[in-house]
Structure 1
Amino acid sequence: MQGSRRLRPFRPARVPSWDLSIVLEGLTGHPFKPMESVSEKLLTIKTVLLVALSSLKRVGDLQALSISPSCMDFAPGLVKVFLRPRPDYVPKVPSTPFRFQQVVLEAFSPAEEGSVSLNLCPVRALRIYVDRTAQWLGSDQLFVCFGGKSRGSAVTKQRMSHWIVEAISLAYEVRGLTSPLGVRAHSTRAVASSQAFFKGSSTEDVCAAAGWSSPSTFIKFYSLDVRMAPGSRVLSA
């Protein structure tokens, strides 16, 4: 095994497999809005993607979230939401701090009310999602199936992964672009954490949010180059 690793060393991707700005712009328009009246499918896949991007969590962690009062709490004025995994959750990596970690998602500023960015607010999306699913919820899991005989029941990690990939692909399609190939749900961790780091978040804060015990995990496996080259700015001016 050591010899094979020397012959074919691990080479993690250094560029994103999809463009975050394209996806976010796609999520702000039709058919993803208005969230109060879009189909339950579109509301679900959009909300799952927004929470995945803003929390930096893997799909297994998102599946562990619950609507139980002890696991989810909206702050007054919907300025933020506190999320915790259900007590019996066993994470993929037992040593991960997420098992006892509180996830805090902050809402966009009230000054942005009515702006396009409001359609990307994870707190607002979650509030609308929770209110709409309450009518037919059959599980205390936060994200549940939205159609068919399984409507309202707990969703699997595999199905949530499909939702994330479908949301990314659909966001490209509504922009008139070809869906990127080879997109995986786990890529949201790399794209979101790299963007947060590029925007000024410290390595420690990124690792704490994602649940990585060491900065080397982020640097070695998840760090992507999300910068724009100067030449690109010239041609797009």
Structure 2
Amino acid sequence: DYLGSSPDRGSTVSEPGSLSRAQSPKANCLEVDRPLLTTSGLSEKVLNTLLQSRKPSTNRAYSRVVKTFQKWCFVQKVNADKPSVNEILEFLQQGLDKGLSLNTLKVQISAISAYLSSQLSADPLIQRFLKAAQRIRPPVLNPVPQWDLNIVLEQLCEPPFEPLKEIDLKYLSLKTAFLTAITSASRVSEIQALAFKEPYLQFFPDQVVLRTLPDFSPKVASKVNINQEIRLPSFCPNPSTEEELRYHSLDVCRALKRYLLQTESFRKSENLFVVFSGKNKGLTASKLTLSRWLKDTIQTCYIAAKLSPPIFIKAHSTRATSTSWAERLLVPPNQICKAATWSSLHTFSKHYRLDIDALQETAFGRAILQSVYQKK
């Protein structure tokens, strides 16, 4: 599979094996390359296996791009099955003019490549276009999220998040999800996939070990990240002073134990976090619901502290905040990468600018909770 390397005007995407499709192929299914693979003479079993090489979210993104591309081709009177390199570049240019980012343009190229069974990214003109797009609209690295971890952790020690045995289930759910997210630097999708019972969840005197359900596929599906253990440490497990007792209220193990006890009677899911009210009570909390819980926790803490809640809070910012605090507290980057399930130190360095190495299993989670001491 290749894109004709000739940059001459009118050169088209070649399709090996003289594969042909209808003049106006439909892209209403999520698997944009199913029609092409079907004509290749593959058995249905092999076809279905090949189509599982991409995550469902990727298929959805590709499907949206292909639909947009087909509409553009219809308006421009372009053959969507055999567009020329120039025509593809015109489509990309329209996106660039509309303000699409470099990453979005790359997704468009990948989607159209899958649709045409061609390697568009290898074409010299496509490569040059992407380099130009990067210069015209360079990627913007967002600053550290504009909310203070200390403020949130301080307020989690106060009502409405304490005392833990008396608070509303809503605030128990919010607090437990937030502490899990901030001490593990996990993605929302990973938090949603956590299991609630052994052997996937185990409590020890000094830590809790969490695992995702066996059918979960992480975003970075490497051998290290698949079914990776998440070890979260106890925090001030044996408090002897008033200050230690206060900090013990940030113990994620304590919060998880109480959360499991409170949700036991209505739980209808093997996932750790479940909906706490309404018609879906007891069912798996969706990624959207968990994202809302994380944002609501931050906003509630700011309001409790009589401060204006920060705007444009994103659930994903808990990863950025926790890893940034870990950097500040000199947690080894390999532990940060492991906690955040990044594929390499390069990912961490690119976003959080750190380049050292060492080891400790629970260093990450403990350092995040200890950040509250920075205020003292």
TM > 0.5 fold call:
yes
CA distance in 1, matches of 2:280, 2:144: 38
Q: 2:218 aligns with which of 91, 104, 109?
A: 91
Paired residue type of 1:49: F
Distance 2:197 2:300 in 1: 31
Q: How many residues are aligned here?
A: 225
Hey, what does 1:212 align to over in structure 2? 342
What is the one-letter code of the residue matched to 1:37? E
**TM-aligned CA deviation for residue 108 of structure 1:** 1.4
1:93 Cα offset (Å): 2.7
Evaluate the alpha carbon distance shift between residue 96 and residue 187 of structure 1 in structure 2; reply closer, same or farther with a 3 A threshold.
Answer: farther
User: Which residue is equivalent to 2:319?
Assistant: 189
* Residue 11 of structure 1, CA deviation: 2.0
For the residue of structure 1 that corresponds to 2:284, the secondary structure is: coil
Match of 1:169 in 2: 299
Q: 1:74 matched to which residue of 2?
A: 203
Task: For residue 109 of structure 1, report the CA deviation from its aligned partner.
Answer: 2.8
Question: Aligned letter for 1:80?
Answer: Q
Distance 1:161 1:150 in 2: 17
Q: Distance in 1 between matches of 2:230 and 2:301?
A: 26
Moved more, 215-224 or 144-153: 215-224
In structure 2, the partner of 1:4 is 133
Q: CA deviation at 1:223?
A: 5.2
Query: Structure 1 residue runs of 4+, over 4 Å off?
Result: none
How far the C-alpha of 1:111 sits from its partner, in A, is 4.0
Distance in 2, Cα, partners of 1:144 & 1:138: 8
Report deviation, 1:18: 0.8
Which SS does the other structure have where 1:105 is aligned? strand
AA aligned opposite 1:64: A
Moved more, 168-177 or 97-106: 97-106
Q: Distance in 1 between matches of 2:237 and 2:221?
A: 39
Q: Letter of the 2:162 partner, please give it.
A: K
TM superposition shift of 1:222: 4.3
Distance 1:141 1:110 in 2: 26
Letter in 1 for 2:145: P
**The residue matched to 1:110 in structure 2 has which SS?**
coil
Quick one: distance in 2 between partners of 1:15 and 1:193?
10
Residue 106 of structure 1 pairs with residue 236 of structure 2: no
1:29/1:88 CA distance change after superposition, 3 Å: same
What TM-score, normalized to structure 2?
0.57
Distance 1:38 1:100, change over 3 A: same
1:179 aligned to 309, 320, 331, which one? 309
Secondary structure of the corresponding residue to residue 5 of structure 1 = helix
Q: Which stretch has the larger CA shift, 139-148 or 89-98?
A: 89-98
Whether the aligned pair in 2 keeps the contact of 1:96 and 1:211 (CA below 8 Å) is no
Q: Give me the whole-angstrom Cα distance separating, in 2, the residues matched to 1:132 and 1:72.
A: 16
Report % sequence identity. Answer: 37
| 1:27–1:46 contact (8 Å) kept in structure 2 | yes
What letter is aligned with 2:295?
V
8 A Cα contact 2:302 2:308, kept in partner: yes
Please list the CA deviations of residues 86-142 of structure 1 after superposition, one character each: whole Å capped at 9, or x if unmatched.
Answer: 100012232373322111111013343552111111110001001111111111110
Deviation (angstroms), 1:67: 1.1
Moved more, 22-31 or 210-219: 210-219
1:169 and 1:139 mapped to 2: Cα distance? Answer: 28
TM-score with structure 1 length normalisation? 0.89
2:327 maps to a residue whose letter is F
Check whether the contact 2:141–2:351 (CA below 8 A) recurs between aligned residues.
yes
Match of 2:152 among 15, 23, 34: 23
Shift of 1:161: 0.3
Q: Using a 3 Å threshold, how does the CA distance of structure 1 residues 96 and 157 change in structure 2: closer, same or farther? A: farther
Q: Secondary structure at the match of 2:225?
A: helix
Q: Displacement, 1:154?
A: 0.7
Structure 2: 5+ residue stretches without partners = 1-129, 355-374
Task: Report how far residue 196 of structure 1 moved.
Answer: 1.1
Within 2, Cα distance between the matches of 1:87 and 1:34?
A: 35
For 1:227, the equivalent position in structure 2 comes to: none
Greater Cα radius of gyration, structure 1 or 2: 2
Q: 2:104 corresponds to which residue?
A: none
Q: Which region of structure 1 is more displaced relative to structure 2, 44-53 or 2-11?
A: 2-11
Residue 74 of structure 1 aligns to a residue whose secondary structure is strand
Give the equivalent residue in structure 2 for 1:232.
none
